[in-house]
Homo-oligomer: A and B are copies of this chain.
Amino acid sequence: MAVVDSYLRRNICREEGMEPLFQVPDLHERTQLWESISGYPIPVFIGDLVQWDFVSEVFRKFTPDTIIHYAEQPAAPYSMLNRRAATLTLHNNLMVTANVIFAVQEFCPDAHIVKIGTMGEYGTPNIDIEEGWIEIDHKGRKDKFIFPRQAGSLYHTTKIMDTDLLWFYVRVWGIRVTDLMQGPVYGLITDENEKNDQLFPFFNYDELFGTVINRFIVQAIAGYPLTVYGKGGQTRGYLDIRDTLQCVRLSVENPAEPGELRIFNQFVETFSVNDLAERVRKVADRLGLKVTIQSVENPRKEAEDHYYNPVHTGLLDLGLQPHYLTDDVLAQMIETVLLHKDKINKDIIFKGVKWK
């Protein structure tokens, strides 16, 4: 196993003044720590996968059987911040995906690409969201297509484009791809890091890089009202960080076939924003925090009240043992974040980045 990073996410968080709640050691430090705990060394390559000379150097030194491709600018609000951020997102995400495909074809054509996509590719259609594919019966004839996609941010749109690109090269070159349509992930603690907070993931709670559960927890602790955008009926599929790891592991252990684009809808439960605000309030109250909920004008352009019924059986069939967002899980997250209460910067909680 090896790891490749350009520190893009760290750099853009710093540029925007939106640092995560606690500092995360760099990859050299984290892999050394991991080796001291587990005995497994992980070579680290630091560089930009947009640059082919770096990509080819990495693939020559470490030719993989599987590529787990997370190398993207992952924040929807950042992608809507301004022209420079939009261009960076589009350029980085597309060119890295292309380079990964070209590297597989050149250096390891049988390797399996496991790509992190997003449930956001589908948007919020008025029909059930199938698992990647749909058979369409039209004027008496039938064909099977990638499920129609219509995303809510530029970031999510780049993920649609990634899928388009992967699907094209799956068909012409016969590469193997699993595209994981992942929902928002919550949680900090896994079996591997529970004894060592130096191995915790980034915990962003700002408007650009923080996801809704993280943000509500920090708001609850900081005495800031939980900011529900608009009506709060926005419903998405969520999963625990431990389930993310399971899903990726299951995908790697059960690879797609050559010439197959396998799509899984990677989430465990759906919640509306109002559901989440209520749950955080309830559990925070139990822990003695005073929490209010406040609807704010929605800075995004999105349906605030919509049908949402996505299928998600593929990963369960592979053996996923789901964790659920129980009150205890929320309480553990709140207690973990409480340890860092003094580091919360209230100025970055809400910035009002508008979609338009």
Contact = CB atoms under 8 A, between A and B. Distances in A.
Interface of A: 52, 80, 83, 86-87, 90-91, 94-95, 98-99, 102, 106, 125-128, 134, 136-139, 141-143, 145-146, 148-151, 153-154, 157, 160-161, 164-165, 167-168, 171-174, 301, 307, 355-356
A160 B355 CA distance: 23
Given A148-B146, A150-B145, A168-B151, A95 B87 contact: yes
A36 B83 CA distance: 40
Contact of A356 (B136, B173, B307, B355): B173
Nearest to A154: B168
Nearest to A162: B161
Contacts of A126: 141-143
Contacts of A86: 98, 102
B87 A52 contact: yes
A98 B90 contact: yes
29 contacts: A52-B83, A52-B87, A83-B106, A86-B98, A87-B95, A87-B99, A87-B102, A90-B94, A90-B95, A90-B165, A91-B91, A94-B161, A127-B139, A127-B143, A128-B139, A136-B136, A136-B148, A137-B137, A146-B148, A148-B148, A157-B164, A160-B164, A161-B161, A164-B164, A171-B301, A172-B301, A172-B355, A172-B356, A174-B356
A127 B142 contact: yes
B102 A127 contact: no
Nearest to A90: B98
A52 to B, nearest CB: 7
A150 B125 contact: no
Contacts of A168: 151, 153-154, 157
Contacts of A106: 83
A18 to B, nearest CB: 22
A253 to B, nearest CB: 28
A76 to B, nearest CB: 11
Counted per complex, copies of this chain come to: 2
A301 B167 CA distance: 14
A98 B89 CA distance: 11
Given A87-B99, A87-B102, A161-B164, 14 more contacts: A83-B106, A86-B102, A91-B95, A94-B161, A126-B143, A127-B143, A134-B136, A136-B136, A148-B148, A149-B164, A160-B164, A161-B161, A172-B356, A174-B356
A308 to B, nearest CB: 12
Contacts of A171: 150, 301
Contacts of A167: 150
A355 B168 CA distance: 11
A91 B50 CA distance: 11
A155 to B, nearest CB: 10
B145 A148 contact: yes
Contact of A125 (B98, B143, B355): B143
Contacts of A102: 83, 86-87
Contacts of A128: 138-139, 141
A93 to B, nearest CB: 10
A110 to B, nearest CB: 14
A168 B355 CA distance: 11
